[in-house]
Amino acid sequence: DTAVSQTPKYLVTQMGNDKSIKCEQNLGHDTMYWYKQDSKKFLKIMFSYNNKELIINETVPNRFSPKSPDKAHLNLHINSLELGDSAVYFCASSQGRESSPLHFGNGTRLTVT
């Protein structure tokens, strides 16, 4: 199936831990994103990579570090997790850098206890 897939789907961890979320797309897109959706459903962009180059870096704590080993993968590593990091994290991809549809994964629900 052609899709954006992210793992794990659920992640429960304690404060202070370090965790990673992986994302892969097989759509042939050259731009990938990480979005955070809070409990009120608000979608906020965190990062965007185009052909492995960071092009959007919103104001997020530097505990969050994206890594793009190639244009089909964009992983998100989070250090020293805090309660406020609990949210659903979505990976997405699109073709090109301008005004093109986003294709989202099904999300990773992160719960920090």
Partner 1 sequence: GENVEQHPSTLSVQEGDSAVIKCTYSDSASNYFPWYKQELGKGPQLIIDIRSNVGEKKDQRIAVTLNKTAKHFSLHITETQPEDSAVYFCAASSVGNNRLAFGKGNQVVVIP
Comparison of 9 and 67: residue with beta carbon closer to partner 1? 9
CA proximity to 11, closest of 22, 24, 2, 26? 22
CB of 111 to partner 1, least distance (A): 15
CB of 56 to partner 1, least distance (A): 6
Q: Record the tokens describing residue 26, joined without a space.
A: 């097989």
Distance of CA 84 to the CA centre of its chain: 16
By CB under 8 A, name the binding residues for partner 1.
4, 31, 40-45, 48, 56, 90, 92, 94, 96-107
Q: Of the candidates 33, 8, 36, which has an alpha carbon nearest to the alpha carbon of residue 20?
A: 8
* Residue closer to partner 1 (CB basis): 77 or 107: 107
When the beta carbons of 41 and 82 are compared against partner 1, the nearer one is 41
In DSSP terms, which residues pair with 103 in a beta bridge? Answer: 93
